[in-house]
Chain A
Amino acid sequence: KQEVTQIPAALSVPEGENLVLNCSFTDSAIYNLQWFRQDPGKGLTSLLLIQSSQREQTSGRLNASLDKSSGRSTLYIAASQPGDSATYLCAVRPIGNTPLVFGKGTRLSVIA
């Protein structure tokens, strides 16, 4: 059974700092991995999707990497801003399956 773990569970950083969020998954047989952002009480906003054949994806200040063989992904946020404060969720889509399997998320606070 696929399990997704996100570390740390919570993170507080001063504005301007670069930071890394970690995601690990137990079964490397995946189609893709996706990072989402969730604001309190809101739905999910897709940030980056990495196909299993890719190593990384970039969007603005965000960079996500994927090492499928070791079951790890990282989300790098450059020059963090208070507006980046949210919960960041990692999800994988297992091969042969359609629903996403999510981690519990990392709650990020960026302090001005």
Chain B
Amino acid sequence: DTGVSQNPRHKITKRGQNVTFRCDPISEHNRLYWYRQTLGQGPEFLTYFQNEAQLEKSRLLSDRFSAERPKGSFSTLEIQRTEQGDSAMYLCASTESIGQRETQYFGPGTRLLVL
């Protein structure tokens, strides 16, 4: 399967714990996006990378959130000191950077539940 993959698919944690999610984009896609989706809402942008550079971060990305893409391939999203409000689906998307015709391909998501 050459699509976007995300691990784990599900994560249950207790409030205050740290969690880390991984996204493997489609091979050779140089842009990678993270979105968050809460129940009944559309996905909201968190951050994106062009190769290994983090180019934009949303105001939704508080100090407890950090994302990396160290070698320009896979990416990790870490949430420190989780809160119940962090419970959501975390979606990753990748794309070739081809200007106006860019199409984002989404992974299956990681569903986080903070107890």
Give me the interface of A with B, judged by CB distance under 8 Å: 4, 31-32, 34, 36, 41-46, 49, 51-52, 89, 91, 93, 98-105
**How far is it, in angstroms, between the C-alpha of A43 and the C-alpha of B35 when the chains are bound?**
11
Q: Are A98 and B31 in contact (CB under 8 A)?
A: yes
- In this complex, which of A41, A44, A51, A104 has the most chain B Cβ atoms within 10 angstroms of its Cβ? A44
Interface range, B side: 20 to 34
Tell me how far the C-beta of B41 lies from the nearest C-beta in chain A, rounded to whole angstroms: 6
Nearest residue, chain B, Cβ from A49: B103
Q: Are A99 and B42 in contact (CB under 8 A)?
A: no
**How far is it, in angstroms, between the C-alpha of A44 and the C-alpha of B43 when the chains are bound?**
10
Cβ 8 A contact of B42, one of A49, A51, A93, A104: A104
Contacts A43-B108, A43-B109, A44-B91 given; indicate if A99 touches B103 (C-beta within 8 A): no
Give me the interface of B with A, judged by CB distance under 8 Å: 4, 6, 31, 33, 35, 40-45, 48, 55-56, 58, 89, 91, 93, 100-109, 111
Q: Are A46 and B103 in contact (CB under 8 A)?
A: yes
Contacts A43-B107, A98-B31 given; indicate if A103 touches B42 (C-beta within 8 A): yes
14 contacts between A and B (CB under 8 A): A31-B102, A44-B91, A44-B106, A46-B103, A46-B104, A91-B42, A98-B55, A99-B48, A99-B58, A100-B35, A100-B104, A102-B42, A103-B42, A104-B42
